[in-house]
Amino acid sequence: MQFQAFLDAHPDIAGHVRSLMLRHPMDDQSGGPDGRPDASAITPQTLVRTAKRLPRLRECQFYFVHIVPSGTPTPDATTAEPLHAAPYPLIDLSVFHIFGSSHQETGPLLELLSYFRMDRLELELVTFVQEPATFPMPPAHFRRIEVRDIWADLDTADEEPIVILPALASALAPGILQALHCSWKDWAGCITVGNFLKDVGSTLTNLTLNMSVASWVEELGSAIQREGWECLNLGSCTALRTFRVNVSLPLSCPLPDVPDVKRRVSSYRNLFSLLPSTVHTVIINAPTMLRSSPPVLGGGRRSAARGQVPVDFSEIEHVLLDMPQMRRVVISIRPAQNMRGAAATVSKSFPALLARGVLEVRTGAMPDVR
């Protein structure tokens, strides 16, 4: 790496580096004609040796970096000891952010992560190579991965299986993970996410799910029943305190759209009904709630001019209020010109929550779900 040569030439710089960013053009991620990785590929050993030279490093950001296997462990050039010697000291990071790596193998990535103790791991738009359904235990010379918060945006354009979750579940250190934020678009992903929660969800106190519920309900032609949501294994999250979910629901809609919106409301109600009894805060991110459902052309040429019908959220209210430890339901909406008026409008749609004193409406920027 040229950066290591830079450190050799300027050793005084190393003690001041807090954030390390590596970036490669997307076109550099493809292998050569012989199938071998090109010069832009980086091994875990190279990355770890670089990080070890930066004593104040707290953040790593990788953009379009392709991580390839290290191969046979070799002595560390700076210590003359094997890089994998156990127990090796972990490198503490606040954030490890990986963006846009294409067709990444899980093995090299897990090897790299095993050298760090992370407050938060962020995987954004990373596509992974399909691997076997069962994953072997990590090699003996790898430590279990220590991370408290995982933010995984698995909504990739390639529609590849979200294979990182089973591999990650097998490699995580037990009892450390506290928060998970996960985004995906295909219904099949619910099973993969549910298996992950079944394996490691018992220590989670915060869980955020960003799912394509509206499109799933449209494809299904009916509400997603409680039995359908059971594949998420929310009951495995026995320490859960805060649950966040992104919803696509309006406060009102044209009369012809009422059945579809009602199916979505029922789907969320069924989802909430499976939350463990330990949950005391539910945060509903509803960026489009103040916008009415758009008119749909076709058939009878629906028109918004026919008037809007208020959406009935009572079944969602009832299931949330039945939760024994419920203290707060936050509904977060996009900014409006009249923020106070917008909050009042939303509050009127949830009278039972308002009367119980647990409703909070936030306007402005969406809250950080990481």
What pLDDT, on the 0 to 100 scale, is given for residue 319? 98
Q: What is the pTM of this model?
A: 0.86
Q: In the predicted model, what is the mean pLDDT of residues 339-366?
A: 87
CA torsion angle for 42, 47, 53, 58 (degrees, to 10)? Answer: 130
With contact defined as beta carbons under 8 Å apart, do 18 and 58 qualify? yes
Tens of pLDDT along 113-159? 999 999 999 999 888 876 554 445 555 557 899 999 999 988 764 55
Let me know how long the chain is. Answer: 370
28 pLDDT exceeds 50?
Answer: no
With contact defined as beta carbons under 8 Å apart, do 85 and 63 qualify? no
Average pLDDT, the chain: 83
Give the CB-side neighbour count of residue 346, counting CA atoms within 13 A. 28
194 pLDDT exceeds 60?
Answer: yes
Q: Give 293's pLDDT tier (boundaries 50, 70, 90).
A: very low
Q: Residue 309 belongs to what H/E stretch? A: strand 308-310
Answer with the residue of higher pLDDT: 127 or 351: 351
